[in-house]
Amino acid sequence: MSLFKTPRTSLAEERLEKEIHDLMHALEHLRSSASRDTRSNYERLRARAEDLLQQSHRQCHDSRHSLTRHCQQMSQCACDSVRAHPWASLAVGIGAAALFGLLFARDRYRH
């Protein structure tokens, strides 16, 4: 035993060592727990993102299918209308071409 070491200091050192050991054990447990929680949160977040992506993909597919069907119906309606009224359709086409021509020429001469 050293000159300044007493049984009290030896007991205090033992307590301090035990506290340090307990603290190190608690920190290791906390690190392990945080790592496990982070991994778990990451997996949950990844699964949620995949679900949202699949849901978005389904909605996009459904919207595209619906839009395609609607465009086909509109096209069929336009074709039926042109077949039912060929002269009126020709007049509308000529009028639209003349209007676009005037707008284009007017814009061209302004600049």
Q: What is the DSSP letter of 79?
A: H
Question: pLDDT of 32-90, one tens digit each?
Answer: 887 777 877 888 888 888 889 899 999 999 999 999 999 999 999 999 999 999 999 99
Six-digit token string for 101: 């021509």
CA–CA separation, 22 vs 29, rounded Å? 10
Query: What was the pLDDT predicted at 43?
Result: 84
Neighbours of 72 (CB within 10 A): 10
Query: What was the pLDDT predicted at 1?
Result: 47
Contact (CB, 8 A) for 81 and 89: yes
Residue 100 backbone zone (phi > 0: left; psi -120 to 50: alpha; other: beta): alpha
**Structural domain boundaries in the chain:** 7-83
